Amino acid sequence: MDFLGSVEQTIAVCAAVVTLVSSTVTFVAKFIKANKARAAEFKKATAAKKAQMLLEFAMASVQAVETIKSIKNDSLKPEAKKEIALTKINQMCIENGIEFDTAEAGRLIEEVVALTKKVNQRDKDETATAETSPPTSATSPVKLL
Residue 3 lies in a domain: no
pTM exceeding 0.85: no
Q: What is the percent of the chain where pLDDT is above 90?
A: 3
Q: In terms of residue numbers, what domain contains 30?
A: 8-118
Residue 71 lies in a domain: yes
Q: What is the percent of the chain where pLDDT is above 70?
A: 74
Q: Are 86 and 109 in contact (CB under 8 A)?
A: yes
pLDDT (tens digit per residue) in 76-123: 787 888 888 888 888 888 887 778 888 888 888 888 888 878 887 765
Residue 49 lies in a domain: yes
Residue 141 lies in a domain: no
Residue 67 lies in a domain: yes
Residue 124 lies in a domain: no
Report the alpha-carbon distance of residue 39 to residue 67 in Å, rounded: 41
On average, the pLDDT of the chain sits at: 75
